Structure 1
Amino acid sequence: MMKSIIVSIVFFTLNVNLSFAQEQSSGAKNQSVKKELKKLIVYGSDTCHYCLDTKAYLKKNNIKFVYFDVDVDLNKQNEMVLKLQKAGIPLDAISLPIVDLGQQLIMNNVADFEGFLKQLNTKH
């Protein structure tokens, strides 16, 4: 009886330690995956020629990015709106595409679209 209790305790302890080690290992892996996945995020619309031109520019310059069509993906539209509000950007002043560089949101400046594109190249 005592032997089976000791074996159970040892088994439980090993199992807990193994689970904890796997959690730490997967946590480290998740952090490195998050770093790899951190890319430029472009919120736009496939009906917007500035958005299409921005995607083409990023591809041409081998800049990694993730693109979300906010006309189709309402969850990403909400995500974009929340980021704009958090940054203090009035929603009536937005112009697609909007690019999230992680620490900064850059919005298309229709008057200087080339300048907008150059910002994407120098910031990334």
Structure 2
Amino acid sequence: MNGASTPVEGLSHVVTLRIPFLNGEHAAIAKRALDVDREVNMELVERETAVEGSVLVVTIRAATIRIIRLATNAFLSSADLVLRTMAEFAPDPDAPEETDAELDAAAAEARRSGGGMKGIELKGGVGAGGGEEVK
């Protein structure tokens, strides 16, 4: 189950995971994304999630050690996907944003070193995304 609840009798094996995030908002986003997935066998597994500051706290209870291992592995697989997605689309809010000049310099360096993309070539050989101005 998600959120606070009374533990189901017979679920004597417990694992608690504490997953730190950059801030409380990121932890809450991850909680909402992970709460969508329900446990397959709710009679044998119970999952509670909570946010404490910037930490996502997950408590998994299960009837047997084997089931808690399987439930924990399944949860960690889902959490890995959420964390990787957030790293790509929800960057550190405290990190300074690059200025246009810094982005232009990085693009120019990538083109010089051959690692940059050429972009889409338009009429007259001018490329969109290649840094050239189109008139």
| TM-score, length of structure 2 as denominator length | 0.34
Q: Which structure has more helix as a fraction of its residues?
A: 1
| TM-score, length of structure 1 as denominator length | 0.36
